[in-house]
Amino acid sequence: MTVTAQRTGAASVPVPPPGEAAAGRIRLEHISLRYGPASPTAPSVLQDIGLELAGDEFICVLGPSGCGKSSLLNLIAGYIQPSEGRIVIDGAQHSAPDTKVGVVFQHANLFPWLSVARNVEFGLKMAGMPKAERRRKAQAYLELVGLASAASMYPHQLSGGMKQRAAIARTLAADPSIILMDEPFSALDALTRESMQTHVGEIWRKTGKCILFITHDVDEALLLGRRILLLHPSPGRIVEDFANPLHAEGKAPLRSSREFAELREWLIGRIADGAPSGAARQGRTGRAEAMPLGGPSSRQEPYRP
C-alpha cells in the first residue's frame, strides 16, 4: 500500500491515500462470552456475535448499560478470551493484546509525573524507538490532536478534554490499525464533549484508522458513527447493524434536521424495546446494510426500507 504523509508543522503523520484503507480487518465468528463457571449453562454476557469490520470504518456500538458493549471491546482488545468462537484480525487469530489494536479508555490514565510529550512517547520508548525519532513522532501526533503548545505541560495542568486528546495522541503514536474507544467522553461536560466529537471525526478522516467507538449516547452515535451497531442485553446480542444515512455522500449530520430527529427517535425506541423485533440486521456476513430515512413512526417496528 502506498502511503502519503500529512504535514503537521515540522513533523508528518502517515495517512493512507483517499479510497485506500489501512490494514485492520476484524472478524468475529460466533463469539459468546460467559463469566463464572466454565459451563454451557452459565449466563451469557454475549451470545453468538458475528461481525466483520473493514479497515477504515468508524463504527459506533450503542446500547444500554449491561448489554455487553465493554465486554465486546475487551474481547477485541485481547484482554479477555471468548467462551466460544474466535476473533480474526488481518487474517490471524487474535487471542492476546497486540500492537495492531490501540485502546482509548474512559479516563485518560496519563502518568502524572511525565509531561504530555513524554506520556505520548512512553510506549515508543518501551518499544526501543530512538529518542529523536520518538520525539518527532510524538510531536506530529500532538499537532494532529491540537496539543502541540501543551507538549511541556503536565496532566494536572490540563482540562479534561485536553487529557483525552493526549491519550488519543498516545494511542495514535503506536500506529495501531484499529482503535477501540470505550466511552472516552463520558466524564466530560457537554460543550467539551461536542468539541471532542469534532476532533475525533477529523482524526478519523485524516488517519484512515478503523475506529470502534463504544457509547450509550444516541446523539453521539448518530454524529460520529458511519455504521451503527445496537446491542440488547440478557444476553448481549446485535439486534441492529446499519450504515448511518445521516453521513451519506460525506455530509455532516445536523441535530436540527428532521432526519436526525426521526432516526434518533427510532433508535431510542429500539433501545427501549429490550428485545429484537424481526431478524437482526447483520445477516450472515456481519456487514452493514444501508438504512434509508423515512421509516415508520411507531417505535414497535424495525426501521426498514
User: Which pTM value belongs to this model?
Assistant: 0.80
In a domain, 217, yes or no: yes
Residues 168 and 184 in one domain: no
Give per-residue pLDDT as tens, 86-133: 999 888 788 788 888 999 998 899 999 999 999 999 999 998 999 999
What does the mean pLDDT of the chain come to? Answer: 81
Residues 126 and 270 in one domain: no
Number of domains present in the structure of the chain: 2
Give per-residue pLDDT as tens, 196-217: 898 899 889 888 889 999 998 9
Task: Write out the E strands in 94-162.
Answer: 101-104
In a domain, 300, yes or no: no
Non-local CB neighbours of 208 within 8 Å, separated by 6+ positions: 15, 16, 20, 21, 22, 55, 56
Residues 188 and 266 in one domain: yes
Residues 254 and 140 in one domain: no
Residues 93 and 209 in one domain: yes
pLDDT at 140: 93
pLDDT band for position 10 (cuts 50, 70, 90):
very low
Residues 152 and 182 in one domain: no
Task: Round to whole Å and give the CA distance between 16 and 295.
Answer: 36
pLDDT at 16: 46
> Residue 127 sits in which domain range?
110-175
- Would you tell me the crossing angle of helices 160-173 and 190-207 to the nearest 10 degrees? 20
